[in-house]
A and B are shown apart, each in its own frame.
Chain A
Amino acid sequence: MMMSFGNSFCVRDRSENPFLSCKAKKIVANSPTQRETPKKEDNNFTFTYEVTGFRCNKVEKVYIKTVSGNSSFTDFLIFYQKDEPTLQDDPIYAIEETKTDDKESRNTGVYQRCSKFVFIESYYPNTKKIMLYNLQIDQKEKPTETYIFGTKLLLTLGVEIIGKKLDSKIFTPFMNIDEIIDFKSKMRKAPKGNVPILLTKKKDKIEVSGRLFKSGGLSHDPNIGALSIISNVLRLLGWKKKIEITLHGLEPRHIGKTNKFIQIANKLNISLQGLKIPKSELPIDYWKYDKDGEKLGTIFIHLVVENFTQGYSIFENHAGSEKGYFVTKDGEQIPLAKYKDKAKYKAGAKDEIIHIPDLILIDFGRNEVINIEGKKYKFRQNGIDELKNYDFIEQNYILKYYPKFKILRTVVLYGSQEEKIFEIEIGFLLNENGQLILGVKAPKLFQKAIKNLLDFWK
């Protein structure tokens, strides 16, 4: 663990929504009054958010930065150090967050996430790996074989499981290779015609069967994750001889150097039966600071509005994030439809697709709803054009659930060195220098939010 003056940095994958989940929040702080406020330098935004509203004897400050990962990147990296993290710094925690809902909560999903822990092991072997379950459904009373097997593999790899009750008699790390082979062989097998994942120990190798071919290439999730973690655990438990994947279904043309399984296979010295695996290196950098995404602008305005005004988001779909639900006036969360008329769409009417904004903010004080399209500065005209497509969502959702509200449409941009906005459709620009530029007809909510932020910075 790196320790200096007690500052903690959390870098988060840009695919994560702008707010840490409740449980993730508890990792960096534990306070209901917690906020994420933009950090400044000379009245410019530094692309760092400071978490305020908590007290901790060992952590003086908590900062959050948005990063993008080059490959199988975990959702959060936590650093405990004075200075802003660099690639050379070891995070103290790498956290993968699993949000499940009642529709798609099969345990085979655990394998898909396993490859992330296999990846990070190569970059930061000393970092504590955490699987954080942020469950919105009740836990099953009796864990399934798949879940037990997957979790035991994770525990063997040193991953800590948080957010799920684990029976300590069942959920223990595997102690040796034979135990893994035996456990897997006793698990129920798939119906005929499928390839079961099975381990066979021979004198000079361990064979692991499992299909990797899918849709014209090597892209079989969840088997990529399952075979990766099984192989990694075999190596960890001391197997130095050959590990060979059998019944994979691949041909030479399916194997690319940049494929994540091929990269892992090179790292762990895994072979594919009947095929020669090309030499492949992991990407040099595990992560980089995100400095060019359109999302930087919409996330900024989202956080500033929520932290410095009474306004808040009723729908968010930041580029590269999870699509949220539309929140009605009564607080009910409803999914937005994809098509105006599904039958017409299926019959070929492609304009039946519903266009949705990247962010919808509500200004209760002024009875206004603001539909926001986010874009990079260089694509601003596309953003302006997109504003014309919001009639359906306004008529069928916003006016239905917020009937007396006036609706505004505006574009929020990120990028460039520009210090002025000329197009009246553009409400706000966050430029590459962190300068905050309001449009000539920016919504009052934006004006208030930026004014209050600047006052806060004084």
Chain B
Amino acid sequence: MKKEIYIQKLDTKRQNSFWYKGFGEIAKFSKDDREVIISSCGLIRIKFPNEDFYRNNIQAVDVALSHNLYDEDLENLEFEDCNWFDYVYKTSNMSNYIEIDGDEEFKYSKAIKSAKEALNDDEFWKQFLR
């Protein structure tokens, strides 16, 4: 298996996809003719304590960093929209990467682990033969 990590884990206490907003592609894994790419996707809309408005996307992350927050602190914030880690898949006979519903992850280490597992899921890859 070949792995290319574009964005390293920021911090063991900052593994939520929230912190990876704006980074785009996080890592690429390949094995034989199979490829999986992990990306940070989706929008963030969040209300911080003592503020009466929502902050969005990278600004929300900047403010959370300036308040020195970690994953466990995010659970106390009011989220209207959350981002996630998503995957695209490709085999050598495909010209484009394919995305699939229902495979989202929210934690960095879990996202990496799931990508590796997906590479070995033969049943899953059979779908790409059609």
| Cβ–Cβ < 8 Å partners of B88 in chain A | 106
Contacts of B79 in A (CB 8 A): 219
Given contacts A104-B40, A215-B74, A338-B65, contact A191 B101 (CB under 8 A): no
Cα-based distance from A188 to B87 in the complex (angstroms): 13
Q: Which of B57-91 contact A (CB under 8 A)?
A: 57-59, 62, 65-66, 68, 74-75, 79-84, 86, 88
A45-86 vs B, CB cutoff 8 Å, 1 = contact: the mask equals 000000000000000000000001001100000000000000
Cβ 8 A contact of A146, one of B23, B54, B101:
B101
* A190–B102 alpha-carbon span in the complex (Å): 6
| CB-CB nearest in chain B for A150 | B101
Q: Could you say which interface size class chain A belongs to?
A: 35 or more
Which of A28-36, A192-200, A392-400 is the contact stretch? Answer: A192-200
**Beyond A193-B117, A210-B102, is A319–B53 a contact (Cβ under 8 Å)?**
yes
The verdict on A1 contacting chain B, using a C-beta distance below 8 Å, is no
Q: Are A108 and B22 in contact (CB under 8 A)?
A: no
Q: Which residues of B contact A236 (CB under 8 A)?
A: none
Is A221 a contact of B100 with CB atoms below 8 Å?
A: no
Which of A15, A187, A292: most chain B Cβ within 10 A? Answer: A15
**B82 and A219 contacting across the interface, CB-CB below 8 Å:** yes
Interface membership of chain A positions 142-171, coded 1 if the CB is closer than 8 angstroms to chain B and 0 otherwise = 101110010000000000000000000000
In whole angstroms, what is the CA distance A61 to B29 when docked? 55
Chain B residues near A346 (CB-CB < 8 A): 10-11
Q: How many residues of B contact A (CB 8 A)?
A: 52
B25 to chain A, nearest CB (A): 7
Q: A148 CA to B86 CA in the complex, in Å? A: 18
Q: Does A431 contact B (CB under 8 A)?
A: no
Q: Are B82 and A221 in contact (CB under 8 A)?
A: yes
Determine the residue in chain A with the shortest Cβ distance to B55: A320
- Per CB-CB distance, the 10 closest pairs between chain A and chain B, nearest first, are A103-B24, A190-B103, A191-B118, A190-B102, A191-B124, A196-B102, A191-B121, A106-B41, A320-B53, A323-B59
**Taking beta carbons and an 8 Å cutoff, which residues of A are in contact with B?**
14-15, 68, 71-72, 101-104, 106-109, 111-112, 140-142, 144-146, 149, 187-197, 210-211, 214-217, 219-223, 226, 260, 292-293, 295, 317, 319-323, 338, 346, 350, 353, 355-356
Interface residues of B (CB under 8 A from A): 10-11, 16, 22-25, 39-43, 45, 52-59, 62, 65-66, 68, 74-75, 79-84, 86, 88, 96, 98-104, 106, 114, 117-118, 121, 123-124, 127-128
